[in-house]
Structure formats: C-alpha cells, structure tokens
Structure 1
C-alpha cells in the first residue's frame, strides 16, 4: 500500500511538472488573472496576443519593436523552450511593419495573422500612421522547421477593406472581422469555409445576437463557443445547433484607462488568455499606448457565465 501511495505521488508530480512545461514553464493560474511569463514574455515593451499551437510545442506572441508589430516565438524541444526570437515576415527592405494576432492551423504548419501591405507606407512611418492603414489577413507556411515570408490570403478574405482578428478553426476555416460593404453595414464577423489548397468559399456574416456591437474575436476549434469583444469587455457565446446565443459578459475586473482585447484560449481549453493596453488619456490610438500586457486565467471564469 505504501508503494502504491508513493507511485501515486510520483505520477501526480510528473503530471504537474509536464503541465507546467507545456505553458512555457509557468505555474498555471487560478480564477484570479496573472501576468504570463513576467520579464520573459511580458517585459517593458508592449506585448500582446499569446497563442500556442495545438500540441503546445510552439508559443507565439507579438511585441512592438522600433514601431513595428513583430511576431515572436519559442519552441519546445526535448523538454526545454528555446530562446524567444522574432519571425521575419517581410523582405529585408521593409523596416517598419505590422504582424500581430497570430492563429495557427491544427497541423501547426500555417499561421494566419493581421498584417499591413508594406507597399502602402514608407519606412519612416510612425506607429500611429502605420495602424491607420486598413490591415489584411496574411499567412506564413512552416517549411523544414522555418516560417517563410508571408503573403496575403485569398482575395475573398483579404480585400481593399479592413480585415482583422483572424481565427482558424479545426477544419481550416477562418473567422475574422471586416467593414466590407454589406446589408448590415459597419463592422461584422465573417466566416470563410476552407475548401483546401489554400482556397476559401465567399465569407458569410455570423449573427451573434449582439446588442452592443460585440463581435467574435476568438472561436474554439470545434466552433462550440466563441469569445466576443465589445464595449471594452469580453463576452462568451455558445453555438446552439448552428445559432449563436446572446453573448454574456465575463466576470473579470476591468480597470479604467486599460483596453482589453485579443482574447484567446489555450489549446486544451483550460486557460483564457487575453491582452490589455494602457492608453495615455490625452492621446488616442496606438500613439497613446504606454503599456501592453498579456494575462491568463483559469477558463472557469468564462464558462461560469453560461450558468448565470
């Protein structure tokens, strides 16, 4: 009996250790949000969008470096995470760029992200000017262990209008936001069914029964639930036989002068990951952002909203 007890403790220890390793060696959070990897991922720079691939062997996030939004990553090999390094998405002659909001396909070989066409701006553009240019959805392929230079997604997805917040589902379909002309007008959530061979069906508007312009910003791989973002707060909506339920607000503590955005979930659905940025009250847009942080919290804070 004593040996069985010791074996149980050993298995429990190994399981907890492996769980910690999967999340960049960070102790998982409770229902109280906490910074993710302080001083490693969260630094004195502006960081946002932490995302893991399906099997938790690669971590991605965005960091503002010299006025550029740059996707960084680290890979888990033989139980150890590699040093964090930026991913080169554009040619060498592009000195200022946008690459953020990454989302990774189930096989880990394709990344979609929010980007801005380098041909539309000069290299001396300011951060504020850069982010006023309508963004598109770009993709990068991982070939022989290396992420290749990015290109725009199918013209049905990336148009002359604004496209943002791409999220890829298990079958390869894309959810995103766009202000392209429609009967509803303004910004809407769209879904583009993946056809294979990097092609999509024409995107269709997703109705989430919103009252305050909450739009889908994250959707689970199986499309059972989605997280919306409206009025500076997060909400959760559930797919009920093809109909999305009315979004319910998540019970997080929202601090004034901070904007909460970029919701995402860990691959196992256990943790809710989100970003927040602090704006100088006297400045608008990214020019006024003085701090950007990424938090994570036990996903119970999301799913408890369903029970209210």
Structure 2
C-alpha cells in the first residue's frame, strides 16, 4: 500500500474515533461487556435512569430522582462540547413533587413524550410512597426557541384513567406504550397509536408479540424494524418481519439478582445499547425501596448478532 495513503487512512481513523468519543462525553467506547455510562456526569450518587439521545445526537436526556421527584435532565452538544447537565422544568412552580421520566424524542428533535403523573391528582399532599402508586400518563413537551416548554397531557385516546407507561415515538410520530386499560387479553399490554398529525392519534391497538412469558415492548426502533422487550427480569429482542414480530430472544447480559433491569434504549446511530438497572431494599417494594439506580451501555453487536 502507498505510504501516503496508509498515513491518510490512519489519520482518518484516528479522528473518526476521537469524534465518536466526543459524541459520548469523551468516554472510552464499550465492547460487548457492559460498563457504566458517563460516571460522575450521568451516573452519580443519585438514582439515575433512561439515557436517550435525539436523532442527530446533539442532545442527551436522562432522569434523576431529586428530593423524591423524578426530574428529566439534559445536555446539548455545541461546537464539539457538551453543556453542563441541567434539569428540565415540566410542571409549574406550584408542584412540589413530580414524576417526569422515560423521555422519547421525535425525529425533528422538537417534541418530547414522557411518563408523568398529573400534579392536580394529589395536590402535593401525598407521601413519596403514595406518589409512586398514582396511575401515570403520557405527557408532551415542545422545544420552542431552544427551550423546553411546560408539559401537557397527550390525547385522551392515549392518556386514560389507567396506567400508561414506556412511551416510544417512531419516525412518523406514532407512539408505542404500555397500558393496563381493559382489553380482551387482560392485564398490561403493548399498544401502538398511529399519529394523524395536529397532535391527534388513532385509537391505540394492541401489538401482538409471539410470546408466552408476557414480554412487552419497552423500546422500538424509529423505523419499527426491531423492538426490545422486558420479561422475567431480562431483556429480549424481536424483529419485524413482513409486519409480524418474531418470538423474542433473550439479550445475553449478566443479569444480577436483586437488580431490576429496565428502560432499554439505543444510541441514535444504533451502535450502542443503553439500559438501566436499579437495586431495591429487599424489605420494600417498588420505587419507594430503590437504593441505587444506574445506567449502562454496551456494544450493540450483542443484539444484532442474534437475528
């Protein structure tokens, strides 16, 4: 090989790798062994969960429990540098305790859906334990002139009096989510609501997954080519083949006991699988007993090599 060509290729590879690490807060990129995502930046002594990026990888979001509230935080990439981590205000000043987590960003980066709890339902007069039992809904915030606006509840066909969780928005604006609303299958199901435009959705329909273990979709790719499910305390992957979802296959991670694995996401370039896990006090159930929450990432080859 020509010496000058070799030097050129080495230089290009070096700067490509360097730029890639900048995209991820200058971290060393993970192999097929999971590692903590952005220690001291995202992962701290607080409980953190659900890291997600916008489609052009210029804004990163995650949730952190602060003073008993779930608060969405973000950072923006400008001129090759990430801004300081800042919370996003989703409710007005009268709200003392709040729930805002599991963000998902539209393709144009101008709208965010997330899991929220209606502040008016409890009038700031509940304990932390009671707050976490109130049925959550799906909320939406819009980015106007570079700032995320206060959120409002989504279309009543999506947000109901029942539980709605894990919203995921697709490239065409449609929503996948979980709900325990009355249905002919019983219990919690995955739903898809086709986006009609002008903030309107068609009536959500159940997504049929070929499973016997009650795996439910918690992430779907923007083009709906594949989805990641949760079931039996582990992650699975299912692929969309001619409009039908394949039987979910377990994603091979080292699942540790007493930890709950949840909030699966993919990086916007689909090179990395990002997920959360939390440790519960064995004597307490649910979020009230969570003592530690962490976000991990791993090379996505462990997913796509399974197809």
TM-score computed with the length of structure 1 as normaliser: 0.98
Superposition RMSD in Å: 0.9
Are residue 32 (structure 1) and residue 38 (structure 2) matched? no
3-state DSSP class of the match of 2:305? helix
> 1:227-254 CA distances to partner (integer Å, 9 max, x unpaired)?
0001110001111111111111111100
The whole-number CA distance in structure 1 between the counterparts of 2:28 and 2:104 is 24
- CA offset at residue 282 of structure 1? 1.0
- CA offset at residue 276 of structure 1? 0.1
- CA offset at residue 304 of structure 1? 2.5
- CA offset at residue 144 of structure 1? 0.3
Asked if the contact 1:251–1:305 (Cα under 8 Å) also holds between the matched residues in 2, the reply is: no
3-state DSSP class of the match of 1:30? coil
* Equivalence for 1:264: 265
* Equivalence for 1:65: 66
Matches for 1:263-302 after TM superposition, within 5 Å = 263-302=264-303
Matches for 1:19-168 after TM superposition, within 5 Å = 19-168=20-169
3-state DSSP class of the match of 1:305? coil
> 1:126-174 CA distances to partner (integer Å, 9 max, x unpaired)?
3321110000000000000000000001111001111000000011000
Asked if the contact 1:24–1:37 (Cα under 8 Å) also holds between the matched residues in 2, the reply is: yes
* Equivalence for 2:222: 221
Number of equivalences: 306
Are residue 197 (structure 1) and residue 198 (structure 2) matched? yes
- CA offset at residue 16 of structure 1? 0.5
Matches for 1:167-186 after TM superposition, within 5 Å = 167-186=168-187
3-state DSSP class of the match of 1:3? helix
The whole-number CA distance in structure 1 between the counterparts of 2:236 and 2:58 is 29
The whole-number CA distance in structure 1 between the counterparts of 2:279 and 2:40 is 18
The whole-number CA distance in structure 2 between the counterparts of 1:150 and 1:258 is 31
Stretches of structure 1 lacking an aligned partner (at least 5 in a row): none
- CA offset at residue 192 of structure 1? 0.3
3-state DSSP class of the match of 1:12? helix
The whole-number CA distance in structure 2 between the counterparts of 1:264 and 1:215 is 14
Asked if the contact 1:96–1:124 (Cα under 8 Å) also holds between the matched residues in 2, the reply is: no
3-state DSSP class of the match of 1:239? strand
The whole-number CA distance in structure 2 between the counterparts of 1:293 and 1:300 is 22
The whole-number CA distance in structure 1 between the counterparts of 2:241 and 2:154 is 30
- CA offset at residue 40 of structure 1? 1.1
Are residue 188 (structure 1) and residue 189 (structure 2) matched? yes
> 1:8-35 CA distances to partner (integer Å, 9 max, x unpaired)?
2211111011111112222210000000
* Equivalence for 1:2: 3
TM-score computed with the length of structure 2 as normaliser: 0.98
- CA offset at residue 124 of structure 1? 4.8
**Mean alpha-carbon deviation: is it higher for 16-25 or for 155-164?**
16-25
The whole-number CA distance in structure 2 between the counterparts of 1:26 and 1:189 is 34
